Amino acid sequence: MRGSHGWAEVSRERKRDIIEAIVANKPTRGPVHAELDLTDRCNVACYFCNQQDLRTKDSIPLPRLTDLIDELAEGGLKSVRLSGGGDPLFHRDVLNVMDHLASRNVIIDNVTTNGVALTNDVATRLVNGKAREVIFSLNAVDAADYARMMQVKPALFDKVLANIRNLVAARGDSIYPSIVVQFLIDRKNVNRIVDMYELGRSLHPDRIAINAVLEIPFERIDRSVILHLEDNLVAEPQIEEILRRDKEERLLQIDFPYPQWNEMLQRTRDRVGTVPHNNFPVAKSFKGENGGCFFAWYSAAITGNGDIRPCCLLLNPTVKPLGNVNDKPKFADHWNGPEFQLMRDEMREVLLMKSRKPYTPQRFKILKEQCVAPHMCYLKTMYFQGDEEFYAELDTALTKMREKEIRYVFGNNTKRKRAIELYVQEHPRAKRAWDWFRENTRPARVFLKQRLGVDLTDAV
Ligand SMILES: C[S@@+](CC[C@H](N)C(=O)[O-])C[C@H]1O[C@@H](n2cnc3c(N)ncnc32)[C@H](O)[C@@H]1O
Ligand code: SF4
Ligand code: SF4
């Protein structure tokens, strides 16, 4: 069993509610899955931490958390991810939170943690509560690398290793929780990839994730430490070696943020004669045109200072929160409020337009480019795209919705505009012609707008 962003816990009926709410352009009765970032405080200080620009010293106090969990559970919450702006296990009442979630039958779908505070008590609750997945962000390959990356005393590295072994032992033969050990590579440890794999393997996890340190907003990371394209020459022979070693084990989950690195990975896989083992399946009924994000009907992320955000990938300072759980007595006031509705309007438009609506900040007040353009955000489909029945039903619903709401004839201005825009986006020649038209016929467009009220000025 592995984390599914909560999808494995959602009933057929609830999935239909989501589809119906998309079509009707209304809220569902509440999130089915939530990311609860219990605290913004952390017990280490990773140089690369992508949360540092949002970091406060706040935690959601236990009484607010229990009220919130109660309200969300009554609205049908089935699972949570515990991750964070800080480390979720560093919340002083984390054991009580876990107990409260269990008392409301809310499954812990995922815990993402540095593992420093994964004590015996936490391990017991994770195993007994059948938590689906624990990701240990070990990141470093040895104590010295740990001290460099996490900016703490090197001895903490051994403590984390002991905590990983302890959880593996506490789990015994159970499949819960699935355990992932994550490493992050940068220029200082890129020559240690084989050691990372061996260390990971010695800990007996279900998966070993090897990722790259990524840039974060505001250029906080010294760019000379982040991988450069040419570092793949150093990485390639090591990756070949670990792919060989992993042929039987099938533990590796490896993917890079750079196309050239992924090409190198594919070449190396072909040489070794292996395929990615830990990819998520794709259902026959899944179509790219229906692969828009539906989080606004499904999920929410609540951070340590109470801010509500669309998801864990939009936890950055360029994204305005959708509200704060401390501002209104009920979470439902946010879920049914104007900010969430605006996000739903924007996501619905993307779904309606087959993910072909071009992104501009003027058109999208809440969504970012990765939410609108296809293939830029893995999270919007990765966990769901294997669901044959859901995507078949969504396809039927969206097809009907498009027939009604995208029309050249018998349509109002909005429907006509959508029809023209979609046609242009789906036909490269028409798009080129349209670009030429836009470039060269401004007076004609102004005429159309002023005399006939047909506004084509932002149709592409
Ligand atoms: C922000 S952390 C929060 C949870 C917890 N404190 C932890 O570190 O696991 C979530 C995940 O993002 C990863 N992460 C943070 N900054 C990153 C960066 N700049 N590049 C790549 N991964 C990063 C962490 O290693 C961790 O796996
Ligand atoms: S452990 Fe997680 S939250 Fe803490 S500094 Fe590192 S990446 Fe950030
Ligand atoms: S598309 Fe991706 S980044 Fe945007 S809201 Fe959905 S999951 Fe988050």
Q: Whose CA is nearest to atom 8 of ligand 2?
A: 49
> Position 206: which residue type?
D
Is the CB of residue 184 below 6 angstroms from any atom belonging to ligand 1? yes
Please work out, in degrees rounded to the nearest 5, the angle formed at the alpha carbon of residue 1 by the alpha carbons of 192 and 387.
110
Average pLDDT over residues 149-172: 98
User: What does the buried/exposed string (b/e) look like for 69-82 if buried means 16 or more CB atoms within 10 Å of the residue's CB?
Assistant: bebbbebebbbbbb
Residues linked to residue 300 through DSSP beta bridges, in sequence order: 34
Of the bound ligands, which one is closest to the alpha carbon of residue 359? 3
Task: Let me know: does 132 contact 178? Beta carbons within 8 Å.
Answer: yes
Residue-level pLDDT at 459: 42
Phi, psi (5° rounding) for residue 178?
A: -70, 135
Q: Whose CA is nearest to atom 1 of ligand 3?
A: 371
Is the CB of residue 112 below 6 angstroms from any atom belonging to ligand 1? yes
Q: Could you tell me the pLDDT band of residue 458, with boundaries at 50, 70 and 90?
A: low
Is the CB of residue 50 below 6 angstroms from any atom belonging to ligand 1? yes
Place of tokens 């931490």: 49
The half-sphere exposure of 366 on its side-chain side, counting CA atoms within 13 A, is 23
Residue 95 has pLDDT above 60, yes or no: yes
* Pick from 6-15, 217-226, 440-449: least confident: 440-449
3-state secondary structure of 424: helix
Average pLDDT over residues 248-257: 91
Instruction: Tell me, in angstroms, the distance from the centre of ligand 1 to residue 381's CA.
Output: 21
Is the CB of residue 42 below 6 angstroms from any atom belonging to ligand 2? yes
Q: Please report the atom of ligand 3 found closest to the CA of residue 379.
A: 7
Residue-level pLDDT at 455: 65
Distance CA 246, CA 57 (A): 41
Instruction: Tell me, in angstroms, the distance from the centre of ligand 1 to residue 199's CA.
Output: 19
Which is nearest to 411 in space by CA: 398, 422, 395, 424?
422
Residue-level pLDDT at 105: 98
Task: Let me know: does 212 contact 257? Beta carbons within 8 Å.
Answer: yes
Which is nearest to 135 in space by CA: 237, 203, 191?
203
